[in-house]
């Protein structure tokens, strides 16, 4: 008999593995949330215009600033506790003075995530998603009044209509359609030259993951799907998605592309995918940080 856990574990995905304990009990207790900011071992990750400040090391790391480095009115979110119990935060603040004093550099968040070890990239993902959400939600969507940050950065409250708003995470399905010995990769308009990836799209209200996968493959490529299987997931903080990676069995190989969504799509072999993942193909695969890479690798290495 097959047990529930006899299937393989989901592969490790990029932007996961944060070492921080999110310590929800601190966020929920307003006095604890204030007290933790005053701890001598509290540190802040600084994002200036959503770009993280990294150290100036040859192999850059996240730069952790002291509380005194952070303007008092900067939007600040509690990220969690390190394994040693030290509080970690992120703040949206100008980095020029810090760079002048300590060195370091601002990097595009996506470039930074690619440079960092996975668990550090996961901290950056958490920080950037939350601060990007605060930056776009200064007003109440219900009544229009200004809102205030609450719950250590995990909510905003409206004092006018008493609405409470929570950070949003948008589920996105990303899927590799498979037909016999081929998988489908495509190019969205605006992709870098030669890059092909798995197809993807936002899950919509009133559908589940498998329905969203089938709908997106039909809309974008004219494919009818007979089976869908979940592989793995990852947070994608540009600005705040949950990428849900699946395989889908295609009924036939004929394609009808929606050229608004895909400028090109092609069925590729395992050998082609392995070459692309290794950087030696005639097209480029997404980097290891992206779950599309994980999805392509899992397919290429499966039977």
Query: Which residues are bridge partners to 173 per DSSP?
Result: 201, 244
CB of 126 to a copy of itself, least distance (A): 3
User: With respect to a copy of itself, which residue has the nearer C-beta, 7 or 280?
Assistant: 7
Non-local CB neighbours of 208 within 8 Å, separated by 6+ positions: none
CB of 260 to a copy of itself, least distance (A): 7
Contact 93, 70 (CB under 8 A): yes
User: With respect to a copy of itself, which residue has the nearer C-beta, 127 or 273?
Assistant: 127
User: With respect to a copy of itself, which residue has the nearer C-beta, 37 or 249?
Assistant: 249
Counting every residue, how long is the chain? 303
Phi, psi of 223 (to 5 degrees): -90, 135
DSSP annotation of 151: G
Contact 232, 154 (CB under 8 A): no
- Residues 65 and 300: their CA atoms lie apart, in Å, by 43
User: With respect to a copy of itself, which residue has the nearer C-beta, 96 or 145?
Assistant: 145
CB of 171 to a copy of itself, least distance (A): 5
CB of 212 to a copy of itself, least distance (A): 9
Q: Which two tokens stand for residue 272?
A: 């082609």
CB of 103 to a copy of itself, least distance (A): 27
Dihedral (Cα; 135, 139, 141, 143), 10-degree rounding: 180
User: With respect to a copy of itself, which residue has the nearer C-beta, 148 or 208?
Assistant: 208
CB of 122 to a copy of itself, least distance (A): 6
Listed in sequence order, the DSSP H helices in 103-191 are 109-115, 118-136
User: With respect to a copy of itself, which residue has the nearer C-beta, 83 or 205?
Assistant: 205
């Amino acid at each position: 008999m097959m047990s529930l856990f006899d299937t393989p574990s989901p592969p490790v995905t990029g932007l996961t593995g944060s070492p921080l304990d999110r310590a929800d009990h601190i966020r929920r207790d307003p006095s604890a949330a204030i007290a933790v900011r005053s701890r001598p071992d509290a540190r802040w990750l600084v994002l200036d215009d959503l770009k993280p400040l990294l150290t100036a090391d040859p192999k850059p790391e996240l730069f952790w600033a002291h509380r005194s480095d952070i303007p008092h009115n900067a939007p600040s979110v509690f990220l969690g506790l390190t394994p040693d119990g030290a509080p970690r935060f992120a703040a949206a603040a100008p980095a020029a003075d810090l760079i002048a004093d300590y060195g370091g550099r601002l990097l595009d968040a996506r470039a930074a995530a690619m440079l960092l070890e996975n668990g550090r990239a996961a901290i950056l993902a958490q920080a950037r998603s939350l601060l990007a959400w605060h930056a776009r939600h200064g007003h109440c969507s219900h009544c229009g009044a200004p809102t205030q940050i609450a719950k250590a950065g995990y909510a905003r409250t409206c004092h006018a209509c008493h609405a409470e708003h929570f950070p949003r995470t948008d589920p996105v399905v990303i899927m590799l359609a498979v037909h016999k010995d081929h998988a489908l990769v495509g190019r969205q308009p605006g992709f870098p030259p030669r890059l092909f990836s798995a197809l993807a799209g936002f899950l919509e209200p009133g559908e589940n993951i498998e329905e969203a996968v089938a709908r997106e493959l039909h809309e974008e490529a004219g494919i009818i799907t007979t089976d869908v299987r979940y592989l793995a997931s990852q947070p994608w903080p540009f600005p705040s998605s949950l990428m849900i990676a699946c395989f889908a069995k295609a009924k036939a190989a004929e394609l009808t592309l929606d050229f608004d969504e895909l400028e090109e799509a092609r069925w590729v072999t395992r050998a082609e995918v392995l070459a692309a993942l290794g950087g030696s193909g005639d097209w480029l695969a997404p980097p290891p940080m992206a779950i599309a890479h994980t999805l392509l690798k899992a397919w290429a290495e499966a039977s």
